[in-house]
């Protein structure tokens, strides 16, 4: 590919060539091949540790936090209540969950279109946990070459000791991660008490074992295979990215042809790449980024740290491998604002606005009013007309409330009176009040069916108000 001057736009053909994978040069990934990633230091390695530390801190601390005696996040499945940041949601609120998932999918689309697989490299739980498990393995078994030598060697006392210690720590870590995850569904202090006193329910035992085995298998044993085989993100990202998406790329114009080069500047005909293969040795998925954009790349940037270190040692400028776009790597200028990004952004803004509106207008109060089916009306000896209704009030708020029940909409001259056992009524959080409501009109009118509204109003919170339409039947 012929190079172009900076600031000029690359042709679509050039960009396409840069984005394609050379099928001949790239070997298919062998499932039986274990990756022994070499340890690397650098800016992006430190950034990954910082991101992992922050995410792990949030993950492990949130289940133990309490605000006003309540957990900020708790999914009470048996009680069919989900506590989220001071609000409680019920199964009938599944609409909000569906809407939230749609918004998150939209965010994923625009994030991938702009930033590629940064999520995979810095925030994906699989990547974060796997990184920690590999660090433990490195602690017990040593560097990549030592780990490979240990695996290839025969079994002996030293190998058994190292492997046993590593797997014991792995299992302990898997249980800690599993315990924390289950603590989002069972209060953490209650779950800990059950573990310490051996009073776990069968459900607790099942889910603790299930997630412990899952974490141990996915993050300790299968590792990068999860990213390469079952995870669909790397596959469908090809439909979301374009030539202007931020990816990790190798500057072939600067690096080719490859050749061993020293600080003295010999091999003048070769490019900046000295073919040291360190970018391959540090890659957690074992790919060669120099072969072009590949779905196996998780965007962790460890190859950038390795390459930059080599460039510094050989007196060359950094950035032979860098975060860039395929258009920029082929000599063009990256277009940050483009139709795809604009379309995704507009959709996300509209969806999020609708979600925020529905969430803001949500009233944690549900009311049902049902007519008595045994009699449409009751006519009294004094000429009064009585209708009987069944009232159900569900308090979906996190606090207990008192509610005043009233009726409106009928002619004032009818002198309608509402009779209940108690009014206002007290309904505790999460409970349902059910009782009879009697409406009595002082006289009969010609209109047989009259519309009216039943109103349930919280005494201590004016924002909690529900109105339902009903009918008052005359003879």
Cα–Cα dist 168/343, whole Å: 50
In degrees, to the nearest 5, what angle opens at C-alpha 393 toward C-alphas 390 and 397?
Answer: 175
CA 421 to each of CA 405, 433, 451, 457: distance values in angstroms, whole numbers, following the listed order:
11, 12, 24, 17
The sheet carrying 81-84 orders its strands as 73-76, 81-84, 87-89
Cα–Cα dist 40/43, whole Å: 10
Predicted confidence at residue 323, as pLDDT, reads: 95
Count of C-beta atoms within a 10 Å radius of residue 131: 18
The pair of three-digit structure tokens given for residue 372, joined into one six-digit string:
């008595």
Count of C-beta atoms within a 10 Å radius of residue 221: 12
The pair of three-digit structure tokens given for residue 174, joined into one six-digit string:
């898997």
DSSP H helices, 22-93, are 43-61
Cα–Cα dist 183/64, whole Å: 8
Torsion of CA 328, 334, 339, 345, to 10 degrees: 120
Are 359 and 96 in contact, with CB atoms under 8 Å apart? yes
CATH 2.60.40.10 placement within the chain: 365-473
Cα–Cα dist 51/47, whole Å: 6
Domain topology for 365-473:
Immunoglobulin-like (2.60.40)
Residue matched to tokens 């059910």: 434
3-state secondary structure of 400: coil
Cα–Cα dist 372/389, whole Å: 5
Cα–Cα dist 454/410, whole Å: 11
Predicted confidence at residue 296, as pLDDT, reads: 87
Cα–Cα dist 44/67, whole Å: 36
Residue 81: alpha-carbon gap to chain centroid: 20
Count of C-beta atoms within a 10 Å radius of residue 369: 20
Q: For each of the chain's 475 residues, which pLDDT tens digit applies?
A: 334 433 344 444 444 444 444 443 434 444 447 889 999 999 999 999 999 999 999 999 999 998 888 899 999 888 888 888 878 888 888 888 889 899 998 898 899 999 998 999 999 999 999 999 999 999 999 999 999 999 999 999 999 999 999 999 999 999 999 999 999 999 999 999 999 999 999 999 999 999 999 999 999 999 988 988 888 887 777 788 889 999 999 999 999 888 775 555 555 667 899 999 999 999 999 999 999 888 889 999 999 999 999 999 998 999 999 999 999 998 889 888 899 899 989 999 999 999 999 888 888 888 888 888 777 888 877 777 888 888 888 888 888 888 888 887 776 655 556 666 677 888 888 888 888 888 887 776 767 788 888 888 888 888 888 888 888 888 7
Give the CA radius of gyration of the chain. Answer: 33
Buried b (16+ CB within 10 A) or exposed e, 185-207: bbbbeebeebeeeeebeeebeeb
Predicted confidence at residue 237, as pLDDT, reads: 78
């Amino acid at each position: 590919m012929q190079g172009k001057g900076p600031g000029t736009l690359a042709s679509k053909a050039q960009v396409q060539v840069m984005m394609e994978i050379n099928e001949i040069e790239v070997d298919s990934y062998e499932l039986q091949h274990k990756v022994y990633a070499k340890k690397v230091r650098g800016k992006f390695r430190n950034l990954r540790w910082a991101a992992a530390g922050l995410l792990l801190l949030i993950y492990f601390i949130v289940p133990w936090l309490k605000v006003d005696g309540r957990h900020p996040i708790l999914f009470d499945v048996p009680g069919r209540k989900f506590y989220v940041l001071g609000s409680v949601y019920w199964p009938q609120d599944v609409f909000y969950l569906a809407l939230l998932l749609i918004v998150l999918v939209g965010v994923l689309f625009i994030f991938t279109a702009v930033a590629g697989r940064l999520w995979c490299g810095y925030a994906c739980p699989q990547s974060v946990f796997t990184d920690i498990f590999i660090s433990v393995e490195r602690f017990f078994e040593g560097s990549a070459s030592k780990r490979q030598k240990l695996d290839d060697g025969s079994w002996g006392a030293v190998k058994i000791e190292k492997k046993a210690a590593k797997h014991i720590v792995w299992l302990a870590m898997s249980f800690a991660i599993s315990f924390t995850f289950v603590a989002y569904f069972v209060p953490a202090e209650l779950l800990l008490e059950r573990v310490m006193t051996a009073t776990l329910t069968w459900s607790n035992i099942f889910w603790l074992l299930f997630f412990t085995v899952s974490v141990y298998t996915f993050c300790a044993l299968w590792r990068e295979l999860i990213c390469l085989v079952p995870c669909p993100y790397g596959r469908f990202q090809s439909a979301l990215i374009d030539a202007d998406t931020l990816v990790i790329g190798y500057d072939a114009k600067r690096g080719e042809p490859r050749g061993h080069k020293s600080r003295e500047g010999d091999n003048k005909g070769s490019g900046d790449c000295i073919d040291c293969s360190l970018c391959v040795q540090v890659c957690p998925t074992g790919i060669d980024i120099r072969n072009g954009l590949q779905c196996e790349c998780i965007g962790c940037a460890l190859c950038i740290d390795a390459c930059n270190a080599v460039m510094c040692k050989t007196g060359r400028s950094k950035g032979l491998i860098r975060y860039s776009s395929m258009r920029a790597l082929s000599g063009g200028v990256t277009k940050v604002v483009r139709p795809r990004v604009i379309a995704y952004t507009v959709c996300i803004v509209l969806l999020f606005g609708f979600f925020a509106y529905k969430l803001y207008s949500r009233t944690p109060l549900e009311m049902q009013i049902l007519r008595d089916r045994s009699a449409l009306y009751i006519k009294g000896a004094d000429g009064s007309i009585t209708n009987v209704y069944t009232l159900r009030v569900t308090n979906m708020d996190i606090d207990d409330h008192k509610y005043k029940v009233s009726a409106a909409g009928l002619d004032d001259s009818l002198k309608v009176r509402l009779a209940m056992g108690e009014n206002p009524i007290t309904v505790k959080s999460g409970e349902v009040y059910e009782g009879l409501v009697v409406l009595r009109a002082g006289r009969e009118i010609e209109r047989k069916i009259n519309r009216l509204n039943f109103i349930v109003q919280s005494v201590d919170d004016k924002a909690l108000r529900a109105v339902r339409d009903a009918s008052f039947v005359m003879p």
